[in-house]
Amino acid sequence: MVEVTASVWATGQRQSRAQRQGRYVPESMRHPGKMLPSIAAKTISTYTQPGELVVDPMCGIGTTLVEAVHLGRHAAGVEYEEGWARLAVANLALAKRQGASGFGRVVAGDARNVAALLPDLCGRVALVLTSPPYGAATHGHIRSSRDTGVPGVHKWNHHYSRDRANLAHQSLPKLLEGFGRILSGCAELLEPGGAVAITVRPYRVRGELVDLPGHVQAVAQKAGLVLADRIVCLLCGLGEGKLLNRASFFQLHEARKGWARGLPIHAVAHEDLLIFGKPPASPPTDRSPDRRCRQPE
């Protein structure tokens, strides 16, 4: 029986932009769905030791990798889009110039084959830390007519790419199916006692709540992983006895639209961090096939 513990982490004490300033190359801002660096750093320091290996199979501009190498861990990432992969490499190079002691590398490819893309890491990874993409509706930067003087809402940087095969463009069932394959591969990379950490939050489509954390939990369990921890990572700040709002214009806009339609919607102020482990391995038998990090067929 795995004990599930809940905790709250004060990861929103600084604005995300301030967390990235000078630590990531400026072009990184173009990515529509970056992980908050403080969530990555806190997860890595909680679940790994210096010198251990951290992997992000959907690494985007490399937040997991950058925070890992700054903390003296070694890191590897896979990213489907070559443009984001190049930025992850640039961010790792910047971290190195700033004195990061860990080593990082990035492979551009489809993480549904992650174990084949990183065969040398099989059974050696202490932590997989990642977050799934979830649609252009929830991402990007936004300006209202108040800022631009032009009627309507202007949105930019909300596309991962124009490639329809990117999981970000798939329907929810296909995204979950692909993410399940990625998690199965990640399970092959884990060392005994290693963990898979997934940051994810619910979102709304036309007012309807999509429980992405719940879906991700189900998919991870189907991939053979066992829930070990569930942590609330605050996106809002904590200060002087109250919550400091960090919700984006877009989130507040959506919430106001909901209220106007009679739906009491609140802007999301936290991210769920789901921690999974592998069940203890049963002793091998003569008939157990060796499935570890097999090459693609």
Cβ nearer to ligand SAM, comparing 55 with 190 = 55
Residue 179 in contact with ligand SAM, rule: CB under 6 A: no
**Per-residue mark of binding to ligand SAM, 86-125 (x: CB under 6 A):** ------------------------xxx-------------
Per rule CB under 6 A, count of chain residues that contact ligand SAM: 25
Residue 195 in contact with ligand SAM, rule: CB under 6 A: no
Q: Which helix (H) or strand (E) holds 146?
A: helix 145-148
Residue 58 in contact with ligand SAM, rule: CB under 6 A: yes
Among 160, 203, 250, 276, binds ligand SAM (CB under 6 A): 160
> CB of 47: closest distance to ligand SAM in angstroms?
16
**Per-residue mark of binding to ligand SAM, 59-88 (x: CB under 6 A):** xxx-xx-------------xxxx--x----
Among 12, 20, 31, 278, binds ligand SAM (CB under 6 A): 31
250 within 8 A of 217, measured Cβ to Cβ: no
- DSSP 8-state assignment for residue 261: T
Among 133, 135, 194, 277, binds ligand SAM (CB under 6 A): 133
> CB of 247: closest distance to ligand SAM in angstroms?
18
Cα separation, 58 vs 161, in Å, equals 14
Cβ nearer to ligand SAM, comparing 199 with 217 = 199
Task: Please list, residue by residue across 190-218, b when 16 or more beta carbons sit within 10 angstroms of its beta carbon and e when fewer do.
Answer: bbeebbbbbbbbbbbeeeeebebbebbbe
Instruction: Name the residue with tokens 């800022």.
Output: 147
141 within 8 A of 30, measured Cβ to Cβ: no
CA within 13 Å, CB half, 198: 30
Tell me the residue nearest to ligand SAM as measured from the CB: 60
Task: Please list, residue by residue across 112-134, b when 16 or more beta carbons sit within 10 angstroms of its beta carbon and e when fewer do.
Answer: bbbbbbbeebbeebbbbbbbbbb
Amino acid (one-letter) located at 54 = V
Please give the sequence-ordered ranges of beta strands (E in DSSP) within 131-225, or none if there are none.
141-143, 154-156, 190-200, 203-205, 208-210
Contacting residues toward ligand SAM, per CB under 6 A: 31, 33-35, 58-61, 63-64, 78-81, 84, 110-112, 131, 133, 160, 166-168, 178
